[in-house]
Amino acid sequence: MTKGIILAGGTGSRLYPLTASLNKHQLPVFDKPMIYYPLSLLMLAGIRDLAIVSSESDLIGFKNLFGDGSKFGISINYIKQARPDGISDALLCVEEFVDQEDCMVVLGDNIFYGDQMGTLLSNCHASKYAANIFAIQVDDPQRYGVICFDEDNEIIDIVEKPLNPKSNWAICGLYHLDNSCFKRARGLSKSRRNELEITDLIKSYLDTKDLNVVKLGRGYSWFDVGTIEALFAASQFISIVQGRQNVSIGAIEEIALAKNYISTSECEELIRQMPDSYYSDILKKSSL
C-alpha cells in the first residue's frame, strides 16, 4: 500500500512578509489554503494513509485544518522535521511511517491540474520502475532540476539549476519512490547548500536504471508556488477554471465523495458545518 507524503517545511523566505508569521503552505491560493492542493492530489491517486512533514510549531496549524483526516475518510499523520535540511532529509523523517511500503511524495507548494492526473498517479503503483518522477516543459528551466534526453528519448542526465540548460523538461515536485529511497538518502552527501538534495536522490535511481519519467504534456498545468508571482498566477488560474467550468480544484470533500471515502450524507454534513463562503457555495454546486 502506497503511503502519501506532503513536505510542508521551509521558511518561505521568498514570500516574505507573507510568511513572517505563517507557514507558506497555509497561504491562500484563490479560495483555499495552498496545502489543500497537494492533499487532494494524493487523494486522487487513491492514497488514504498520509503524513504531513513540517516544523513542530507549523504542524499545529495543519492539525487545526484537517484533524486526523477521518472526516474525509483518510488518515493524516503529522511528523516533525527538526530543521529544513533538504527534501531528501525530510524523507528520512518519514521512514518509520512508510515502513516497508513505497511512497508518493509531493512538495506542499506544488499545484497540478489535468483531466487524467489521477490516472497517471495511479499508474505509478503498477510501474516496473523503482522511481517514477514527473516532468513538464517550462520556459525557465534554469530555475529547476532539468532532465536531459538522448535521441531515443532515454534519460542521460539530470542537472540541478543549469546555467545553460540542454533541455526544457523540468522536474516537478512529485515523486513515486520505492522503499530503497531511505537507504539511498542516507548514502547522500550534503550539497554546497548544506542540504541532502532530491536531485542527488533521483540520480541514484538513474544510476541503477530504476528511474522512469512521466512527461506531463499539453493539457496539464503545474505551478511551483514559491514566489509571489507564481502564487498570484496560480490563484488567477484556479479562479478562471473554477468560474468558467463550475468546478472546484483541490476540494478535498468533493474528492473524498467521488472516491467513496465518505458518503453523500457525510459530505452534505461537512458542507453544512461550513460558514457561507465562495468555497462552500462551489462545493454545493459541484458535489451535490
| CB within 8 Å of 61: residues ≥ 6 apart | 22, 23, 26
pLDDT value at position 285? 81
Q: What is the CATH number of domain 3-131+173-262?
A: 3.90.550.10
Which three cell numbers mark 27?
Answer: 497561504
User: What's the pLDDT at 204?
Assistant: 96
Cβ(54)–Cβ(28) below 8 Å: no
Distance CA 285, CA 281 (A): 7
The C-alpha cell that represents 112 in the structure block: 497540478
Quote the pLDDT of residue 89: 87
Q: Which residue has the cell 525530510?
A: 90
Residue 287: per-residue pLDDT: 63
pLDDT of residue 176: 97
What is the pLDDT at residue 103? 97
The pLDDT value given to residue 288:
61
Each of the 288 residues of the chain gets a pLDDT tens digit; together they read 899 999 999 888 999 999 999 999 999 999 999 999 999 999 999 999 999 999 999 999 999 999 999 999 999 999 999 887 788 888 999 999 999 999 999 999 999 999 889 999 999 988 999 999 999 999 999 989 999 998 888 899 999 888 888 899 999 999 999 999 999 999 988 878 777 789 999 999 999 999 999 999 989 999 999 999 999 999 999 999 998 888 889 999 999 999 999 999 999 999 999 999 999 998 988 766
- Angle (CA) 87-93-96 rounded to 5° is 135
In three-state form (DSSP H/G/I as H, E/B as E, the rest C), the secondary structure along the chain is: CCEEEEECCCCCHHHCCCCCCCCHHHCEECCEECCHHHHHHHHHCCCCEEEEEECHHHHHHHHHHHCCCHHHCCEEEEEECCCCCCHHHHHHCCHHHHCCCCEEEEECCEEEECCCHHHHHHHHHHCCCCEEEEEEECCCHHHCEEEEECCCCCEEEEEECCCCCCCCEEEEEEEEECCCHHHHHHCCCCCCCCCCCHHHHHHHHHHCCCEEEEEECCCCEEEECCCHHHHHHHHHHHHHHHHHHCCCCCCHHHHHHHCCCCCHHHHHHHHHCCCCCHHHHHHHHHHC
Q: CB of 175 within 8 A of CB of 198?
A: yes
Contacts of 250 (CB under 8 A, 6+ apart): 29, 32, 36, 37, 39, 40, 111, 238
Cβ contact 106:225 at 8 Å: no
Whether the CB-CB separation of 174 and 105 falls below 8 Å is answered with yes
Phi, psi (rounded to 5 degrees) for 165: -60, 135
